[in-house]
Amino acid sequence: MLPLSNRLIDGGHEMQVRVYYEDTDFSGVVYHSNYLKYMERSRTEWLRHLEIFHQDLAKEDSAFAIHRMALKFGPPAVIDDLLTVRTKLNKLGGARSFLRQDVLRISNEGEETMICGADVEVAFINHGGGAKRFSDELRAKLEGSVSSQL
Q: Positive or negative CA dihedral for 136, 142, 148, 150?
A: negative
Q: Which among 134, 112, 149 has a CA at the least distance from the CA of 12? A: 149
List 25, 56, 61, 102, catalytic entry: 25
Q: Which among 87, 96, 92, 79 has a CA at the least distance from the CA of 117? A: 87
**23 flagged as catalytic:** no
Q: Is 40 in a helix, a strand, or coil? A: helix
Residues forming beta bridges with residue 91, ordered by sequence position: 98
Q: Which among 18, 20, 24 has a CA at the least distance from the CA of 5? A: 18
Q: Tell me the C-alpha distance between 37 and 132, whole Å.
A: 25
Q: Tell me the C-alpha distance between 16 and 4, whole Å.
A: 6
Task: Catalogue the active-site residues.
Answer: 25
